[in-house]
Structure 1
Amino acid sequence: MRRHFSRYIVIGLMTFSGCSVLNPNVTEPVFLSNENAAKSWVNGLRRQLALTMNQVVVSTELVSDNYYNNRTLSSKVFDIPQIDYFDLDVNNLQVQVQRLREMSEYGLSTVLKGDPTATAADSTEVYFSNAFAHLLSGELFVGLPGSNLGPVLTPTQHLERAILLLDKALALSTNENDRNAFTLLKARAYYQLGDAVNASKYATAVMSKTTLLRQAKFDGLNNVPNDMQTYLYSSTNNEFAPLPRLDFLDPKYYHTGLAATDQKPVTITKAEEAYLIQAEVQLSAGQLDASRVTMKQLLDVVSARGSVSIDDKRKRGMEVTGRTIR
């Protein structure tokens, strides 16, 4: 099975030592002794997940042939594509991924153990965050540390660690949608590893879950907006210009009311991915007819998703209809 690198490879060697305490009245012992420390930490992880996805989505969309950076401070050379390990945007990307990993590791080693009110759901969320950080590390980097001040791990090592952590999350979770999402993320990890058998096994396990959806949520009122939405729609300056292959789908993120209160989520995994993985497994095995059937089934899943009409006159001088990203 061909290994897929559509999310693009960059290199990073920076380690991250965790979150600094800026408020002298909120020290580590004080935080850990507070009631519901684990739930507070989980909320912080969700915030960091949103910040991480902001950097991931912006960077990978620029490297792809989806968007051109018209007038933002984001990378001016990713469009080429030119990706250097010393590039500030590469550094920003690895920092956000490493922050998610470090925060989740601290949650596992310290916060959960010190909070008697911590629940299995809290632990599930922390294990997922750690697994997803390793999954991104394996997909986006040719080398990245897997622990604070630790050795640089290969993509294979990161992906294998992600699978083990997803298994831990699965063992704790009782939420059906979460369990299905974790299973599909395992399929994605095996797909990246080139393991066609396991990629197919875990993809087909959730293909019947056609409404499966896992997303990162944003909060414009508390300074965690969706950056791509800002570049594509909130701004009036076409800061990210869609390239021809994507123009008919643009904007992928938009708002219909106040931008601050209508921040669209970014999808981490969804049912459609299972069909794409299975179709590629079938193609790699020469099963063309089976792959056609799978892709036709995928179209049914896509058609069942909701859609909305938006007025995009201020950008294009006409009204267009766009499908929501879910």
Structure 2
Amino acid sequence: MLKNKINWIFAIAILALSFQACEDPDTTFDPINPDLSEDAILGTSQSAARTLNGLERQLAEVAGEYVHLAEIASDNYDNTQTFFNQFLDILNVTSTDNDINDTQFEIARLRELAKSGLNIIGPGDPNYTADQEAEFLFFIGLSHLLSAELFTVLPAEPQGAAQPASAHYALAIDFFEQGAAKASNPATQVSCLMGQARANYYAGNQAAAVTAADAAIAADPGFVRFVKFDVLNGARIDNEMQNAIHDRGSFDDLQPLPRLDFLDPKYNDDNASQDIDMPLLKIEEAHLIKCEAAIADGALGTAQSIMKDIIALVATRPTSTFDDSVEDRTERNPGTRPDSSIVVVASSPGAALVGGLVIDRKVGNVTIPTVSGTSVTDAMVDAVGSEDEALELLYLMRQEIFIAEGRRMTDMGVKFVVSEIEQLANANIKVEDTTPVLPSFFTSIAAELDGITYDATTFECTITHDVNAIIVANKTSDFVCPFH
């Protein structure tokens, strides 16, 4: 425990050094505490390892800032209270939003700490290894990947001009490729391969995405890399998404879309001293990428076969059984949300009513997937009759598999903007950089994005808009479906 605290202090010192070095290379790091001087940090044994520990901590800080925001901005969750962001639920994306500002700067801190590890700390460490270098490259790539996924434009360096998502994806791919080539550790190598696959996917590079996905599957068919949380040994590195969907109990802050009820809460307090780790990269995504490529190529049979592989893979993932009776779906407005296993749900007005999606909580223990889950069955896959039907089913699988991981917002084409604080401090940021660019097919229904109607007497729930169907209807738009 003490060792971890020392590692965090060490990493924070490195982070301060890296920001100063990037913004003004002529200044020197001159802290008040002589134990945190540059000489006490650089060139020391195990300094690279400690910096990597600090990067894991910083990644937890990043996830703690953005994941719940991205989930609120999507149709996955309805924010029913005032404790979390009140603007993003209706796609009110503004440069003055403090949450968006914090997300931007936590990503920048991740990038700059990783760059210091790669360029300064690692080379001066007598115990520096190629795998550590590969991990630094991975974290730099990840910072650019998150920049592109979450923001329309964002600087790629301190005081730099705002770069479009396409530029950040290109940078991410480059760093991930370097990391994969450098790594001998299988986990690091597959992390970089999955990063390549994901960045190439969103960039629309179909062939490259599939190649990286195939390589990742071959290397580790059960791969998962987690964001690690350590409540005991660090300041504010808890799983904020866990707070939002479970730990605040009967406050019911974030309510899941009823068709996703059986997947919530993905994170719980089964271990009171440790928040549940969050999937960051997992091999399911490699299969999902290959499936979407097959659909785009018109290979419907291949896509159906891959979907069945995904279903089988998801069935092997762990679950958590815990008492969720304290949580309530309708505490504020009794009878307004489904909270019983007899409820049937329609994905849109006029769609078929489906059972088995809402679970009973008041009875006590529930069992929830902690890595991946899906309601899609082989029979549903067999019933697919067209490429659009396959694509809609695939996006339902993506929605279910990535729930509470901050991915759905990006799949919907919704992104944040550069912070006003950045604009005021950085002369290279233009006013247009702080203007949101959002898909009109979602902004036009922003107030109803996660809307439902529920009849507590018939136990029938209808979702106002089927977002997956809207995504497919607009598949040729630049906002969604990268391979179409």
Q: Same fold (TM over 0.5)?
A: yes
Q: 1:136-285 alignment to 2 at 5 Å?
A: 136-208=146-218, 209-222=220-233, 223=235, 224-236=237-249, 237-258=251-272, 261-285=273-297
RMSD between aligned residues: 2.0
Shift of 1:145: 0.9
Counterpart of 1:18 in structure 2 is 19
Equivalent residue in structure 1 for 2:367, among 317, 321, 324: 321
Shift of 1:157: 1.1
Counterpart of 2:102 in structure 1 is 92
Instruction: Encode CA deviations 1:137-194: one digit per residue, 9 max, x unaligned.
Output: 1111111111122222111111111111111211221122321221121111111111
Q: Which runs of 5+ in 1 are unaligned?
A: 1-15
Shift of 1:238: 2.0
CA–CA distance in structure 2, aligned partners of residues 310 and 195 of structure 1: 42
Report the AA paired with residue 229 of structure 2.
F
CA–CA distance in structure 1, aligned partners of residues 318 and 83 of structure 2: 34
Contact 1:66 1:245 in 2 (8 A): no
Extract structure 1 runs of 4+ deviating beyond 6 A.
19-22
CA–CA distance in structure 2, aligned partners of residues 68 and 21 of structure 1: 47
Q: 1:127-142 alignment to 2 at 5 Å?
A: 127-142=137-152
Contact 1:218 1:263 in 2 (8 A): yes
CA–CA distance in structure 2, aligned partners of residues 206 and 103 of structure 1: 27
Shift of 1:17: 7.1
Shift of 1:35: 3.1
Q: 1:26-37 alignment to 2 at 5 Å?
A: 26-37=36-47
CA–CA distance in structure 1, aligned partners of residues 141 and 109 of structure 2: 13
Aligned length: 309
Distance change >3 Å, CA 205–CA 152, structure 1 → 2: same
Report the AA paired with residue 33 of structure 2.
P
1:298 equivalent to 2:310? Answer yes
Shift of 1:21: 8.0
Secondary structure of the residue that 2:368 maps to in structure 1? strand
Contact 1:124 1:170 in 2 (8 A): yes
CA–CA distance in structure 1, aligned partners of residues 136 and 224 of structure 2: 18
1:309 equivalent to 2:318? Answer no
CA–CA distance in structure 1, aligned partners of residues 204 and 191 of structure 2: 20
1:74 equivalent to 2:88? Answer no
| Segment drifting more, 78-87 vs 22-31 | 22-31
Shift of 1:300: 0.7
Percentage of matched positions with identical amino acids: 33
Secondary structure of the residue that 1:253 maps to in structure 2? coil
Counterpart of 1:3 in structure 2 is none
Contact 1:178 1:214 in 2 (8 A): no
Secondary structure of the residue that 1:184 maps to in structure 2? helix
Structure with larger Rg: 2
Shift of 1:22: 6.7
Shift of 1:270: 0.5
Contact 1:48 1:100 in 2 (8 A): yes
Contact 1:74 1:89 in 2 (8 A): no
Shift of 1:74: 2.9
Shift of 1:246: 2.1
Report the AA paired with residue 317 of structure 1.
K
Shift of 1:205: 2.3
TM-score, normalised via structure 2 length: 0.61
Contact 2:43 2:126 in 1 (8 A): no
Shift of 1:100: 0.5
CA–CA distance in structure 2, aligned partners of residues 129 and 248 of structure 1: 33
Q: Which runs of 5+ in 2 are unaligned?
A: 1-16, 21-28, 328-360, 373-484
CA–CA distance in structure 2, aligned partners of residues 220 and 203 of structure 1: 33
Secondary structure of the residue that 1:246 maps to in structure 2? helix
TM-score, normalised via structure 1 length: 0.89
CA–CA distance in structure 2, aligned partners of residues 18 and 74 of structure 1: 29
